[in-house]
Every structure is written in structure tokens, then in C-alpha cells.
Amino acid sequence: MKFYFLFLLSGLFFLQCTFLKNTNEDVNCDRIASKIDQLYIDYYGVDLGENYNRIDSALCLIDSVLFRCEKYNLKMISNKMIFLSMKNNFSEAIDFIQSLDEDIMYPLNKSVLLKRFKAMQAQSEGDMKTRNKLITKIVTELTDSISKHHIEIDSVFCLPNSLEIMQNKNILIILQYYYYKSQIVGADKVSNELDSMQERLNGNKEFFNDILNPILKRDFMSYDGI
């Protein structure tokens, strides 16, 4: 599920930028992006998550193409945050997010991500009060977005194809809202809420069961795009 979700989300970012031209033809963006993906897989599959050499190599590759391959901007931004979180380098991730313009990050939410990584940093220091306060602020912020688009979001849940749901412009708001809410009230409570919603809307069972519900139990200290 870890690999499936990462590449599905990366594919979403890529599809949203498919028609953008490479800003530097001398950079082999496709090759480097593929290499970064392989380093991620090998970190878990070969190194078993015990050696940061591949992660350091991936970060170097990301920095070499970041903002030089426009169609990969979102993928590289997201991947850099993923790899920094894997090294528990929260301060560098926070500085990186703060340096980004909101327009170039879209559909990533700068405000949410800053609070996420600050909450991760607080948790790593044992400060659960600050951690929970930051996540509660995230949930409040996302609740406003959900309320504004609730009619469209309800219809998205009923789409027959899960990939089509994942490509909807509101998908990150949806995933983030339920994930961060689960961090405050508990995964079981949110899961029950989702089960009831799926029945009420006659929503896409595959999306609810195979994508949305499993996300609730993801390790908060390991950022994976949410």
C-alpha cells in the first residue's frame, strides 16, 4: 500500500502538468525522476529502511532538477518533503516549505504542510500538546474547504472509477481532512464515519475500503504526500 499510494499520488501530480514543456531540454527529467523512484523502492526493499545513502542520493537528484523540469515540479516538491521526513529532518523540510510560493505548490497546501511538519517536529521532541494544537488547526482549516465544496465532494465519492476520484481537483482536501481528523479523534471513529457515509451516498466501495480507510492508519511521522 505504501508504494501504491505514493506512485498514485505522484501520477496525479504528473497528469496535472502533462502539457507543460520542459524548461531545460538539457536535463533528462524522465530518467532522473525514474531514478528517484527506484531509490525510494530500494531504500525499503534492499536497505530495509536502515541506510540513508539512497535517500541522500535521491535528495541530491531532486535538487539538481527542482524547478528546472516544470512538468515535474509538484512531484519533486512532494518527493523532497517525503525524503526529508524519512530522515526526520523536519527543520529543513519546514525551511523548504516556507521558501515555496503557494502558486507553484498547488494543489499542495502550504499552510497545512507547514503545520504538519511543525507538528511532526513537536512530536519528535515529545511535545504532544503543541502537536495536537497544530493538527487541530489543520482540521479547522480543511473543514472550511470541505464545507465550501461539499456538494461536489459528495458526487466525487460516487464516481465508479477510483483513479478518476484520485484525479479530482479536491482529492487532497478530502484525503487530508479525514487523515488529520483521525489524528485527533482516532482512526476507528473516523473509519466508522466513513463507513456510514459510504452507505448513505452509495459511494465507491473500492475507494473507501482500499484507499481512504487505510490512509487513516498511516504513520504520522512518515510524510507520504498527505
Question: CA distances (Å), 211 to each of 69, 75, 93, 125, in order?
Answer: 29, 20, 26, 31
The pLDDT value recorded for residue 139 is 97
The pLDDT value recorded for residue 130 is 98
The pLDDT value recorded for residue 66 is 92
**Range 144-181 burial, b when 16+ CB lie within 10 A, else e:** ebbeeeeeebeebbebeebeebbebebbbbbbbbbbbb
Least confident of 14-23, 64-73, 92-101: 14-23
pTM: predicted TM-score of the whole model, two decimal places? 0.86
Q: Are 54 and 39 in contact (CB under 8 A)?
A: yes
Average pLDDT estimate for 180-206: 96
Coil/strand/helix, residue 100: coil
What does DSSP assign to residue 22?
P
What percent helix, strand, coil does the chain show, rounded to 5?
75, 0, 25
Mean pLDDT rounded to a whole number for the chain: 88
Coil/strand/helix, residue 153: helix
Q: How many CA atoms lie within 13 A of 112 on its CB side?
A: 25
pLDDT at 219 exceeding the cut of 90? yes
